[in-house]
Amino acid sequence: MRRAERWLCAFVLCCVAGLAALADLSAQEVKVTAEVSSNPVGVDEQLSLTVTVTGGGAERPQLPRIAGLKLVGGPSVSNQFQWINGQSSSSQSFTYIFLPEAEGSVKIPPIPVRAGGKVYQTDEIALKVVKEATGPSQTPRRRSPFSVFDDMGLDEDSPFRDRTPRRAEVLVLAEVDKRAAFVGEQITLTYKILTQLPVAQVEIKEIPPLNGFWVEEVQVPSNPTGANLVLNGKQYAEYVIKKQALFPTKEGALAIPAATFGLVVRTSSIGFFTLGSQESVFRKTEPVSVKVASLPEAGKPPAFNGAVGNFKLTSAIDKTAAETGEALNLRVTLSGTGNLKMITEFPLPDLPGFKIYSSKSHDEVAVRNDVLQGNKSWEYVIIPQAPGNEQIPDLKFTYFSPTAKQYREAVAAALEVAVVKGKGVPAGEMTQATLQQGIVKRGSDINYIKLASGPLRDRSRPLYRSAWLWAGLLLPLLFNAGMLVYTGHQARVRQDVTGFRSRRAGRMAEKRLAEAQRCLKNQQCGQFHSILESSIGGYLSDKFNLPQIEITTQQIKRFMDERRLNSHLAEEVASVLEECNFARYAPVQPDRGSLEALYAKAKSVIVRIESEIR
pLDDT digit string, tens, across residues 5-50: 565 655 655 554 554 444 444 445 788 888 888 888 887 788 888 8
| CATH, range 25-130 | 2.60.40.10
Query: What sign does the dihedral 540-546-552-557 (CA atoms) show?
Result: negative
Q: How confident is the model at residue 178 (pLDDT cuts 50, 70, 90)?
A: very high
Query: Which pLDDT score, from 0 to 100, does residue 187 have?
Result: 94
Spatial CA neighbour of 101 closest among 224, 264, 285: 285
Burial group, residue 98, by CB count within 10 angstroms (0-12, 13-18, 19+): buried
Report which of residues 143 and 486 the model is more confident about: 486
Least confident of 98-107, 129-138, 445-454: 445-454
Q: Are 310 and 419 in contact (CB under 8 A)?
A: no
Query: Which pLDDT score, from 0 to 100, does residue 24 have?
Result: 47
Residue 589: what residue type? Q
Query: Which pLDDT score, from 0 to 100, does residue 612 have?
Result: 74
Q: Are 204 and 261 in contact (CB under 8 A)?
A: yes
| CATH, range 309-434 | 2.60.40
What are 582-588's contacts with CB under 8 Å, separation 24+? 582/270, 582/276, 583/525, 583/529, 584/198, 584/526, 584/529, 584/530, 585/198
Judge if 167-293 and 497-613 fold alike in CATH terms.
Answer: no
Distance of CA 310 to the CA centre of its chain: 32
Spatial CA neighbour of 340 closest among 368, 294, 373: 373
DSSP class of residue 58 equals B
Spatial CA neighbour of 130 closest among 155, 97, 105: 105
Question: Which residues, including other chains, have CB under 8 Å from residue 368's CB and lie 6 or more apart?
Answer: none
Q: How confident is the model at residue 490 (pLDDT cuts 50, 70, 90)?
A: confident
| pLDDT over threshold 50, residue 240 | yes
Spatial CA neighbour of 562 closest among 113, 83, 73, 79: 79
Question: Which residues, including other chains, have CB under 8 Å from residue 512's CB and lie 6 or more apart?
Answer: 531, 532, 534, 535, 538, 539
**What's the fold here for domain 497-613?**
Four Helix Bundle (Hemerythrin (Met), subunit A) (1.20.120)
Spatial CA neighbour of 606 closest among 523, 540, 530, 520: 540
Query: Which pLDDT score, from 0 to 100, does residue 550 have?
Result: 62
Which CATH number, 2.40.128, 2.120.10, 3.40.50, 2.60.40, labels domain 167-293? 2.60.40
| pLDDT over threshold 90, residue 174 | yes
* Domain spans in the chain, listed from the N-terminal domain onward: 25-130, 167-293, 309-434, 497-613
Beta bridge partners of 262: 203, 282
Beta bridge partners of 283: 261
